[in-house]
Structure 1
Amino acid sequence: MTGLSISTDAGVFDAIVAGPPEGRPVMLLHGFPQTGLVWQRQIAALAAQGCRVVAPDQRGYSPGARPSRPEHYRVNHLVDDVVAFAEELGWATFDLIGHDWGGAVAWWTAHAHPARLRTLTVVSTPHPGALATSLRTDEDQRTRSHYMIDWRETPATEEHMLAHDARELRSLYAGKVPQDSVEAYVRHLSRPGALTAALNWYRAGRPDGTIGVIDVPTLYVWSTQDSAFGPTAAQETRRWVNGPFRFATLKGVSHWVPEEAPETLSRLMLEHLRAHGEL
């Protein structure tokens, strides 16, 4: 794995890259509060099978692409970033994988640009339509999602998360993320402006337009101990995919699937890619 800079009209994004340049292109999108580092075990597994893997630090997480205003983090801009990455990398089509907020961006990208994606894999995050339905009908999901409202307060949220050696930020990983990765994330998000940029994803407001059903072959991985997304939204997701769909449930695993269950997730990813093309 090596570092890569991806230059777009929105700025310069940092990324991790691995695998042969001519390999099957795979893009991995991280969520909050992490970076492309979250995928290091999956990057190694995919690259070992001949894939060309790129995991960017997304908008706001890359210092060279950190606009100041919350509206610059609306989902249409985040989807545009994904397409810009693919253009810069010379990828006409690619496999897209996302976790947490990266999963939400992946769903929206599959909706807006289905012809660009060979497959879609989303970890933890239900389809946005399924989540919206659950927020209207399921009190459990409303309770789970209340933090999204709390984090819109600024700068109080940043000050609270970073106080006392980032005690509150560290607590979000719930002891499920390797300590060296936690330290890397905390260092990254403690730099001036970084945490505000990451939280601007929550402050950007509602998406422009609505999202429909997904026609791209989709793997959705949900874990039973996920504190953010409950079973109602997870199970509702299958109604929002018309293409080939696999729903994998990981029992006893928390929200931090890529780092808590890396081997299982890598296996599921590779099975999905093999089911829809050669490796």
Structure 2
Amino acid sequence: MDRFAREGLVFDVRDGGPPDGEPVVLLHGFPQDSTAWSGVTPGLHAAGLRTLAPDQRGYSPGARPPGRSAYRVREAVDDVRALLDSAGLAGAHVVGHDWGGLVAWALAAWHPDRVRTLTVLSVPHPGAFARALLTSPQALQSWYMAAFQLPLLPERLLLARGGLLLHGTLVRSGLPAEHADRYVARLLEPGALTAALAWYRALPWDAGDPVGRVRVPTLHVWSTRDVALHRSGIEASGSFVRAPYTLEVLEGLPHWIPERAPERTATLVAGHVRAAR
């Protein structure tokens, strides 16, 4: 399949690997798209796994609804359920990075019957993140989330001169330039950056919809040079999982784990899937 639909929105999806392999859903974050997983999928396919990597709402050109409330995590979770339904799958192994990780945490907590195993890259469980905001430097590291709440100004600054500021910020944070090129080019499409930022602007709605405990086998991966996410929230995440839980720490890597460590990511995910069989 190369697309699926939900409530009038059309999502692009990359479907690869053995058609009869165990399915793995790969969820990207901001400001990525499904190509974030392009270095990871060959290793998963070699392990006999089928991969489904959607461009999430705001990133697929056919799925950019207006309004902040349309970008609540609850909506993104239901998008993944629609993907599974469209593919005829009762469940899948779910992997998420950045915002995709938050969607993965929520999907596993709210719909454990659809998640065989959970792998989250970079982001803590939302409950652990909330705790870290009060007890660690996490609030300072999350300054940009408050800045993104401003109307219009973030778009004007980030897209000025063909997205030069956004591109430079991504590269300085450790994202390889070739990936930054692709992501910025997509966000230069009309309305694309506003839709991507709407995930942040929907946070007031998300705050009233707690994620809760996770009861599926969980692999959590964090990198020590992640400037956006403090270790305290990562280390507290295990207390929100009522199932086998493993924390894997990657030394010396920045936030962009799928792009910077694709082979290692594939090895970890494939091993986690095998262990759950």
Aligned length: 274
Take 1:11 and 1:124, find their aligned partners in 2: how far apart are those partners? 28
Instruction: Tell me the CA shift for residue 172 of structure 1.
Output: 3.1
Q: Map 1:61-72; keep pairs closer than 5 Å.
A: 61-72=59-70
Q: 2:221 is matched with which residue?
A: 221
Identity across aligned pairs (percent)? 44
SS at the partner of 1:238?
helix
Q: Counterpart of 1:156?
A: 153
Q: CA deviation at 1:10?
A: 4.5
**How far 1:6 moved relative to its partner?**
1.2
For residues 206 and 12 of structure 1, the distance between their equivalents in structure 2, rounded to whole angstroms, comes to 23
* Contact 1:10/1:81 (8 A) holds in 2: no
Deviations 1:119-148 (A, max 9, x none): 00000010000000111222x101001110
Correspondence 1:26 to 2:24: yes
- Determine the structure 2 residue equivalent to 1:265: 265
Establish whether residue 256 from structure 1 lines up as the match of residue 253 from structure 2: no
- For 2:205, the equivalent position in structure 1 comes to 206
Quote the Cα distance in structure 2 between the aligned partners of 1:71 and 1:172: 27
The residue type equivalent to 1:273 in the other structure is V
Given that residues 162 and 188 in structure 2 are in contact (C-alpha distance below 8 angstroms), is that contact kept between their aligned partners in structure 1? no
Q: 3-state DSSP class of the match of 1:54?
A: strand
Matches within 5 A, 1:166-245: 166-175=163-172, 176-204=174-202, 205-207=204-206, 208-245=208-245
For residue 255 of structure 1, give the secondary structure of its aligned residue in structure 2: coil
- Whole-angstrom distance in 1 between the partners of 2:233 and 2:171: 22
After TM superposition, where is structure 1 displaced by more than 4 Å over at least 4 residues in a row?
none
Q: Is the 8 A contact 2:171 2:177 kept in 1?
A: no
Deviations 1:194-235 (A, max 9, x none): 000000000012314222211110000001110111111011
Q: Which runs of 5+ in 1 are unaligned?
A: none
Note the alpha carbon deviations across 1:40-93, whole angstroms, 9 max, x for none.
Answer: 111111112221101000001011111010110011111111111100111101
Gaps of 5+ in 2: none
- What is the distance in 2 between the residues matched to 1:209 and 1:165? 37
The amino acid across from 1:167 in the alignment is L
Structure 2 contact 6–82 (Cα < 8 Å) conserved: yes
SS in 1 for 2:66: coil
- For 1:181 and 1:68, the matched residues in 2 are separated by 27
Q: TM-score, with normalisation over the residues of structure 1?
A: 0.95
Within 5 A, what are the aligned runs for 1:51-70?
51-70=49-68
Aligned to 1:74: 72
Aligned to 2:138: 141
8 Å CA contact 1:173, 1:256 repeated in 2: no
